Amino acid sequence: MLRKHVAPLAALVAFSVAALTACGAGDAAQPTPQDQQHDRAPAAAVSLLSGTARSNQADDRSGDLAPEDAPQEVKNRWVQLRAAKAGELNPVVVNGAGLTLYRFDKDTANPSTSTCAGDCAKTWPPVTIAKGAKVFVAGVKKSDVGTVARSDGQLQVTIKGWPVYRFAKDTRPGDTLGQGVGGTWFGVTPDGQKAGNPQSPQPTKPTRTRPTQPTQTQPPAEPATSVTLFTGRNFDDTTGDDFARGLAGKGCQDTDGDFLSLTVDGSLKLWSEPGCKGTSKVVTDDVPDLSAIGFPTGPKSVFFG
C-alpha cells in the first residue's frame, strides 16, 4: 500500500494482442468519422497535482494501479504522467505503474483528435480519466496536459494536444515494445514530441528574412509555497526508504536527506547546506536531475518566499 511508505504529502499541497494490423502494423484500418473527436476539453476538466501518485497518497487499488478486472470508473480515478527513462527512450512519459505511454501519428494535436478505437484500442488502450479526477504530473508541465472526448464518451488524456495510449505488450516498467510499431507509434516525451528522436523527412522551405521582433520579457514566477523531493532521479518514488518528502510553508527549511529530483510550482531557492547557507540556485520548474545543476546529493535546505 502506498500509505505504508509515504509521508503525508497530500496535506501539503495498461489481453492478448490480436489487432496490430488495425492500428499501425501492416495495413492500418481507417477510422470512421465517429471515431474521430475534435472537442478538446480544457485541463480544467481534471485536477492537476504536482508530484507522483505515491507522493500524493493516491489509492493504489485504483487509477493506474487498479487490477485488470476493476470497473472502468475505478481505473479512471487518477492518472500519473511522469518524465522518466524507459529502455533507450530518455525522456519518455510513464504512468503510475511505470508503463510507457505512446502517441499515434494518425491522431492530431491541433485540434486534438483520437483515431484509435475498436480493435485498435484493445491493442493500444487509451489513457482515460474521469471528469474532475486527478492527474499527477512530474516533469510534465501542467499547461501541456489536457483531455479530449472519445467516441465512447470517455475523456482521454492529452500531452501538448496529443492523445496518449499504453501498449498491450508492455507489461513491466521499462518495456518499450510499442516504439516504432507500424512507423506510426512512438513513446511520447514530456512536451508531446516523439521519444527516441525518430527521423522524419522535413519539407524544404526557402529561407526568408524576417524583421527582428522586440524581445518580450516573461513575468517572474510566483514564489513557491511547496516542493516534493525524490530520492531517485526522474522523480523516482520507489528508491530507498525515504523516497519522497514534501515541504511547504515560508522561509528556510532543511530537507534532512539526500534527494536527486524535485517537483515545484513557482520560484524556489535551493541551498547546498542546512540553514540556507553555502551556494544557492533558484529553480522555477521541475528538476529531473539535481546533480546536473550543481547539487549531487540534492539541496540541504530550501527557501520559500
Contact 3, 57 (CB under 8 A): yes
Comparing 21 with 281, the larger pLDDT belongs to 281
Distance CA 264, CA 270 (A): 12
- Indicate the pTM of the whole model: 0.82
Mean pLDDT of the chain: 85
Q: What is the pLDDT of residues 40-84, one digit of tens each?
A: 555 568 999 999 999 999 999 999 999 999 999 999 999 999 999
Comparing 264 with 11, the larger pLDDT belongs to 264
Percent of the chain with pLDDT over 70: 78
Res 43: pLDDT:
58
Res 145: pLDDT:
97
Give the pLDDT band of residue 104 (cuts 50, 70, 90): very high
For residue 49 the three cell numbers come to 497535482
Distance CA 138, CA 287 (A): 9
For residue 134 the three cell numbers come to 486527478
Range among 11-15, 177-181, 214-218 rated most confident: 177-181
Q: Is the pLDDT of residue 6 over 90?
A: no
Res 22: pLDDT:
45
Give the pLDDT band of residue 198 (cuts 50, 70, 90): confident
Q: Mind listing the domains of the chain with CATH numbers?
A: 17-187 (no CATH), 226-304 (2.60.20.10)
Distance CA 185, CA 182 (A): 7
Comparing 15 with 276, the larger pLDDT belongs to 276
Q: Is the pLDDT of residue 111 over 80?
A: yes
Amino acid of residue 4? K
Distance CA 246, CA 244 (A): 7
Q: Is the pLDDT of residue 102 over 90?
A: yes
Those residues with Cβ within 8 angstroms of residue 207's Cβ, 6 or more apart along the chain or in another chain: none
Q: Is the pLDDT of residue 133 over 50?
A: yes
Contact 113, 100 (CB under 8 A): no
Res 166: pLDDT:
98
Least confident piece of the model among 12-16, 209-213, 285-289: 12-16
Pairing of the two strands 112-113 and 108-109: antiparallel
